[in-house]
Amino acid sequence: MNVTTPHKITRRTVQFRPNSRNLFFHILTACNLKCAHCYINPQQHGTTTLDEDTIKKWLALFSRSHGSKAIKAVEDTNVIFLGGEPTLNPALAQGIKEAKRLGYASITVDTNGYLFHDILEKVTPDEVDYFSFSLDGSTPNINDPIRGEGSFETCTSGIRRAVELGFSVSSIFTASSKNIHDLPNMPSLLKDLGVSRFFIQVIGIRGKPAKGEGQSLQLTKQVWESIVPKTAENAAKLGLICHYPTVFLENDAKFECAGVVAENYFVFPNGRVYTCPLCEDYPLHAFEIKEDELVRRPPLTEMELFTLKIPEGCVMNKLLHPGNLTYDSNGNPVYKIACCMLKEEIVANPLLG
Ligand code: SF4
Ligand code: SF4
């Protein structure tokens, strides 16, 4: 497929699915890189590297149903192994095999591309649905100042190796004021590398950015809307499936908080379990793992905040990132901020003539 072939572009908002849940499983917080936008916060998330036994127990825990929305079974649960850099954990391969054995719906590994402990040799494409590589620029000149010297070369080599071995590969681009100008160059690079899915995400002001230059890294509505949808469409025309967060909603659009209507667990090695990623810099986690059981924490947690209804949409955005909002002369918000878990999916099908 190429850009000159006419296409039917299918654009859909991926609503939270009532019959699925996601386990974002941080199996350590250590990492060999020091990315400018890293959201990992060891003060809040600990410095433990989970051992094989604990990983297996926690996978078993989340393969069961929990809570009042407990319609879920392991076959409706997607697990995403994260870090830090998850391949630095020598127990990752065994964790993947255990998730497969337990019957998780899909298994993804998010990696910075360094692929430690020969992970590609220890698991098979039957066991991993996607290796998802983080790349924040189409050249070393753009990517490496953000992610670290040599990381472009290592990451793209890792992608090539994974594709050669038959793994499905996706790529994540974290857009900020440092690299948004380069986003339009990403689809052709990813296509050449053999990547099949492209996730564009917006920089979050948490972890390291919250302590430093975060606000200056944020993107305006105008910049986001002038670059991201068009790039996603071009990626789709090249045959990639592209996802990006909705971010901005018209005032009359329906707003839903994933913390209320969906089931997402962001699990950290110190046992904290959040249901909203924006809360991760604070001890607001709704659950914790105690003696290998999932325990609901008493108020005040993120759960109580989710129920507040405000015209600006996402409560946590209003509390933590008020710079994302704009008000008219009457003090009314000009738009709403969508839940950060709400995504647009862009796919192109060639028009056969
Ligand atoms: S690779 Fe991921 S975990 Fe490591 S520093 Fe970068 S953003 Fe943080
Ligand atoms: S990002 Fe906002 S809308 Fe989404 S779960 Fe968190 S608080 Fe709710």
**Count of CA atoms in the C-beta half-sphere (13 A) of 216:** 5
Residue in the structure block whose two tokens are 């050249």: 139
Q: Is 239 left (phi over 0), alpha (psi -120 to 50) or beta?
A: left
**Residue 110 and residue 84: Cα distance in Å, rounded?**
10
Considering only CA atoms, give the Rg of the chain.
Answer: 20
Ligand 1 pocket, residue 85 CB under 6 Å:
yes
What is the pTM for the complete model shown?
Answer: 0.94
Ligand 1 atom with least separation from CA of 32 = 4
3-state SS assignment for residue 202: strand
A 10 A CB-CB count for 331 gives 6
Report, at the CATH architecture level, how domain 7-350 is classified. Alpha-Beta Barrel (3.20)
Is there an atom of ligand 2 within 6 Å of 205 CB? no
Distance CA 1, CA 179 (A): 27
CA 204 to chain centre: 11
Whole-angstrom CA distances from 239 to 26, 106, 245, 256 are 31, 22, 20, 30
**Ligand 2: distance of its center to the CA of 275 in Å?**
9
pLDDT in tens, the chain (353 residues): 555 567 788 888 777 776 678 999 999 999 999 998 898 999 999 999 999 999 999 999 999 865 545 446 888 899 999 999 999 999 999 999 999 999 999 999 999 999 999 999 999 999 999 999 999 999 999 999 999 999 999 999 999 999 999 999 999 999 999 999 999 999 999 999 999 999 999 886 566 666 666 567 888 889 999 999 999 999 999 999 999 999 999 999 999 999 998 899 999 999 999 999 999 999 999 999 999 999 999 999 999 999 999 999 999 999 988 888 899 999 999 999 999 999 999 999 877 65
**For residue 158, is the peptide bond before it cis, meaning its omega torsion is within 30 degrees of 0?**
no
Domain ranges of the chain: 7-350
